[in-house]
Structure 1
Amino acid sequence: MENLRRRKREELANSKIAVCLVGGARRFELTGPSIIEKILRLWLLKDAPRLAWVRILEPKPIVETEPMVRVLTPKNSPNGIKSGRVDGYWADPLDPEYFIPGQYLVPPGSSYGGLNDGFGVGDLNTSTVALSRLSLIPDLDSAGLTRLNSEYGVPVAALSSRGPLNGAKCRPCTVTCSGSCVAKLMRRLDRGWSWTEWKNGMLELCDARRGLEKGWEKIFDDVAGEKLARARKLVGGLDLRICVEEFDEMRGMTVKWEAPASEQICTLGLRPN
């Protein structure tokens, strides 16, 4: 078995793999370094030898057609029907077993009804189909598939949970629910929406009815480790000049760049000093 896994790793290492990140970069100073370290296997995005395409745009409303209204639902979403996510925190790298020719894999906790999964792995053919789902809405409508979405009311896992978080919603917090409390809550969930494994007693939950609690930074730093803590502090200490320089450096090594001016991006993302 170990020889098979080793051959799989070598095969993947010699393959061309594209990573597509979509969605709003909320708290990207927390999630971005984990994506880079665990998925892209680079410490800083600007240190990548080559960036194929960076596209930063302002989301705009689109006209909803009748098939869209039937197939999609904004239930439990404060902003209506939306796209995928880039604000997921990664605690572990991808396992080579996730890459299965001819299949598109969505791990437990990420399917969210089967349309807008939070994360998926596939080869060229299956990924092409998966990433074309919104353009296939008329076909989904004809097939009788309705009320699919990626927003729903679920508990929020504590980042300190020892179990796998997969694509689960999580945050740094003081744990308010564990053990029998988790079991009682999880048994009431709609299994059609999927959730991460909790029966091993390794999942802990937050009270997520409000924003991040006071002192969340220390909780994050303790759980995420020194490297990711340093990245969080670095972003927190950025001023406008340094921010602009960083974006300009990244723009200079990108094959295709579609984004507003660096000053505009940084002005939106940073509070005035």
Structure 2
Amino acid sequence: MCHLDGEILADDLIIWIGAEAFETFSRVASYVRNLDMNLKSLAVVTFGGMLLFLVSCSPAQRFYQAQTKVPQKPWQGTSGKWGGYSDKKLPNGGHSVRFMGYNEPDQSSCAYFVTVRAAELSVLDGKTHFFSSGVTTNIAIEESNFPMRVIPGYWDEVPFVEYISDGKGNVIPVNTYRSIWVPPSRIPPHTAINKINTASSSINYNGTGKKYDSVSILQGAHTNQQKLGRVSLDPKAVEFLKAVRSD
């Protein structure tokens, strides 16, 4: 669009202003064309960066972790710091495993992650299979009541591009910053409805329940077969997988 308008204006300048003015305008038009190409290149780079960002922010990367933190009331939304897996050794040598998600990840993802953790525990025990009666899931609804609060105003620095002439007919972009005042904002009292997703399972090695292939589960998790992102496994589990593949 800008390129086409530039060509129309250039024709008008030829008729009304003359060759000298047209030359000056051509320089500007050339800059605009170069800017357009640069923007396209920037768009490609930005798109690639977005893909990397999306991969790094996959459910597996955000939430597959040992649970160390839970949200404190009142709370809403989600955080990669909340939830994760927890497990306990059982007298029969197996494990009870639980995975919790606070709004995220969803119930089915929690069920998948608890199975991955069960497989991870089994290979850490030196086993290639485990037995289980399956995964139990649950969703709890919790309300959080937020009082009215005021966010104070503040000054913020925002990027700004100025276009200046270098005295030779060239237009040069200059990156700078401008200070803007962000006024105070009032957040009225409100209630947030949160979901706490839980998946749990008990595993054993004595043949009770369905048999699961730990190696196959972990290989799938490590290669993103479920499209939830590549799971970061315990280094010892990764070494176990390498040893199995080399046999």
> TM-score scaled by structure 2?
0.21
Between structures 1 and 2, the one with greater strand share = 2
Whichever of the two has the greater Rg, that structure is 2
